Homo-oligomer: A and B are copies of this chain.
Amino acid sequence: MRNIKTIIISSIILISNLGGQTVHPNLVLTSSDVIEIKKSIGTVPLFDKSFNEAKEKVDLAIESPMEIPYPKDAGGGYTHERHKQNYDEMYLSGILYQITKEEKYAQFVKKMLDAYAVLYPTLGRHPQGKKQVPGKLFWQTLNETVWLLHTIQAYDAIFDWLSKADRKNYEDNIFNPMANFFINDCSHSFNLVHNHGTWMVAAVGMTGFVLNNEEYINKAIYGSNKDGESGYLAQLNGLFSPDGYYTEGGYYVRYALWPFFIFAESIHNNLPNLKIYDYRDNILEKALYSAFQVTDSQGAFIPVNDAIKAKNWLSKELIFATNFVYARYKKDRQLLYLVNLHDEVSLSGAGLLAAKDMMKNEPIPIFNRKSVEYTDGPNGDWGGIGILRFGDASDQETLFMKYGSHGLSHGHFDKLSFIFYDNGQEIIRDYGAARFVNIEEKFGGRYLDENDSFAKQTIAHNTVVVDGKSQFDGDKDLSQEHHSEKYLFNIGDSDFQYVSAKESNAYPGVEMHRTMMLVNDEKIMKPILVDVFKIKSTNNHLYDLPFYYSGQFITSNFKYLASTKTKSILGEKHGYQHLWKDAEATVKSISQFTWLQNSRFYTITSNTENGDKIYLAQIGANDPDFNLRNENALIIQKKGSDKTFVNIIEPHGAVNPIYESTIGSKSSFENLRLIYDDENYTIVEIKGINKIDWKIMISNNNNDGKAIHSLSANNENYNWIGPVSIKK
């Protein structure tokens, strides 16, 4: 795993002399929070609800047999889940002790810590550990850092109640050995600018606050060399672009924001002079907003890179971040919309404030997802992602296009890929990750082999594959060195929004330029997506452009040969070996392909020309463990050097199965062609019903918004201002 080059921190002021006597608790929950909470309990419904849920959980735990099993299982297995349950119960019990001062809660934590203090020193590497440095309690050090992050808060909460001997016991047998294990044995992870590194520095840094250990704190914040090249601040610099986009994408930001915010809040409470929430022009605030923007209309994170699609903005991990950003920044009531959906607050001062402010007699606006672009890279110059939206959340079209960097170890070879949403569903789909998180039967819940062999490969994405090989020939280190280049992002006219980017490193000698437009017009039922994918090369190549869809095939205007009695695979490597060939066609002119998903029709109209091929494919070949989902793709194949794929993706019509009525099952488009296409300009003609006769003019090499362009083609003159224009 390569490290991201970070912005050098201008001045490092190491922490010294914290003052021998620290107040407890003082991490996320502070002693002054406790006073406030005690005053408010019983009067703030949402806080009370969260408090009571915690109480029920812990009261049940107290009555149940305590188990600290010898570590044995991988993710999803019994011992794994039990140690997770244990830290969660200790953490909550600590908070309950603080709020209620009932001794049984402190006793519960103590009893468990006593057991861990006996167990932990006996542990070697975890039997299921597969990495160079596995955990001890868990198969991955990642889970172990999460354990420490929770347990140190429990310890902080009962610190004053414990005897000195107990404290010495836990610090000698658990906290110091574990922190030192992380700092020394896991120094690679500890210094990594990556979410695993964030968990580790947060856990160690918080341990430093409670144990009054400046070394831990300085190493957590500035890296183990204390030079700012790694550690928490380097992570804040390196993992987010200046506008808050997290380089690993939405699925991982959800997870990463948890330690980022838990540690931020701990720093805020212990080192207020560091002004952590102001750091890097409020980067923590920006990070949360960008995470919420990169969700679909149902709140699910748009699956970028290794992503589990079930994850959405209701994830428990985001409860803290939402509360803290609400409390520490501008009390944006939009965030209370999320708090309301979470239906839970953190048991902290910020959680109490959010819950109280829910009660104010002021409207809570719906969180506004908008068309937005985020740059990628620490300096915002590694390309980015563009999101075009049309309509409100009840029936929103969303185009997500990716033209940033590789995205570290979880990155996919998917430059210039896109995902398209409509009607509350993913229409042109991204596979996400091949993994069943926490299901032990599925390779211990880890990433499956098919994640590498299929999900990461270029053919698994809605972007052009050259000569059947993945981008950068599947070399992630090489890919991480490059990024696509933004060309355009314009949302000034909501009826004609566009995003455009170029990629020239993924395939040596091949220049790719994709421009995607969301076009609305009264002549059509719903806005359409127009996709112009221009490829330039001095040599001849085979270009495959897949569109993954789900739902039922309805009709096509081209004849194909279906695989009826036997099925074969589409290729031998780079992901093709996982695709069954369902049908094959050699087409003569423009192609139309219609399917039905969730009671709405979708048609892809493609500027195919004589000799182009179309394949229908299904994911699932070479999958002896049935690890893959059997999703479908339409793959358009062109041969040659300079080629331009033009496609219209068109939502239309409706089926009402209850009323047995169908409207608009036919595409509105009849013709689609390139009437001009060279290095400088591309002009697309679109014709259809209701006398649709549109021309889209694209300037390929001058993205100046004020440039005037003039061109003759097909005996007509085209004049326009700016890089892209539509003439109706």
Contact = CB atoms under 8 A, between A and B. Distances in A.
Contact of A662 (B316, B438, B658): B438
Interface in A618-659: 618, 621-626, 629-630, 655, 657-659
A44 interface: no
A488 interface: no
Interface stretch (A261-269, A526-534, A561-569): A561-569
B564 A566 contact: no
Contact of A553 (B310, B626, B663): B626
Interface string A553-579: 111000000101111110000000000
A665 interface: yes
B438 A660 contact: yes
Given A310-B658, A553-B625, 7 more contacts: A311-B657, A314-B658, A441-B555, A441-B594, A441-B665, A553-B626, A562-B626
Interface in A286-341: 308, 310-312, 314-316
B316 A659 contact: yes
29 contacts: A76-B662, A76-B665, A81-B661, A84-B661, A311-B657, A316-B658, A436-B552, A436-B554, A438-B655, A439-B665, A440-B662, A440-B665, A441-B555, A441-B594, A442-B554, A442-B555, A552-B626, A552-B629, A562-B623, A562-B624, A562-B625, A562-B626, A564-B621, A564-B622, A565-B568, A565-B569, A565-B622, A566-B569, A567-B580
- Among A311, A316, A439, A566, max chain B CB count under 10 A is at A439
Q: Which of A438, A625, A629, A659 has the most chain B CB within a 10 Å cutoff?
A: A438
Contacts of A310: 657-658
A519 interface: no
A407 B262 CA distance: 64
Nearest to A440: B665
Contacts of A585: none
A68 interface: no
A79 to B, nearest CB: 13
A437 interface: yes
Copies of this protein in the assembly total 2
Contacts of A314: 658
B662 A439 contact: yes
The winner among A314, A436, A629 for most chain B CB atoms within 10 A is A436
Contact of A437 (B441, B582, B660): B660
Interface in A575-603: 580, 582, 594, 596
A603 B618 CA distance: 26
Contact of A554 (B311, B441, B582, B658): B441
A313 to B, nearest CB: 10
Given A76-B665, A310-B658, A662-B76, A554 B624 contact: no
4 nearest CB pairs, A to B = A310-B657, A553-B626, A567-B567, A562-B624
A201 B441 CA distance: 60
A136 to B, nearest CB: 21
A126 B569 CA distance: 46
Contacts of A568: 565-566
A672 B464 CA distance: 52
A438 B552 CA distance: 15
Contacts of A660: 437-438
A657 B626 contact: no
A663 B580 CA distance: 34
A347 B665 CA distance: 32
Contacts of A553: 625-626
A662 B566 CA distance: 38
A626 B623 CA distance: 22
A673 to B, nearest CB: 24
Contacts of A437: 657, 660
Contacts of A564: 621-624
Contacts of A661: 81, 84, 438
Contacts of A84: 661
Nearest to A445: B662
A599 to B, nearest CB: 8
A549 to B, nearest CB: 12
A137 to B, nearest CB: 17
Contacts of A625: 553, 562
A618 B630 contact: yes
B562 A658 contact: no
B569 A658 contact: no
Nearest to A438: B662
Interface string A651-686: 000010111111101000000000000000000000
A81 B625 CA distance: 47
A314 B657 CA distance: 11
A657 B623 contact: no
Which has the most chain B C-beta neighbours within 10 Å: A562, A567, A655?
Answer: A567
A493 to B, nearest CB: 31
Contacts of A594: 441
Nearest to A314: B658
Contacts of A436: 552, 554, 596
Contacts of A629: 552
Contacts of A81: 661-663
Nearest to A595: B626
A315 B658 contact: yes
Residue with the greatest number of chain B CB neighbours at <10 A, chosen from A437, A568, A665: A665
Contacts of A657: 308, 310-311, 437
A380 to B, nearest CB: 31
Nearest to A582: B626
Interface in A409-447: 436-442, 445
A621 B658 contact: no
Contacts of A76: 662, 665
Which one of A564, A626, A655 has the greatest number of beta carbons of chain B within 10 Å?
Answer: A626
Interface string A234-275: 000000000000000000000000000000000000000000
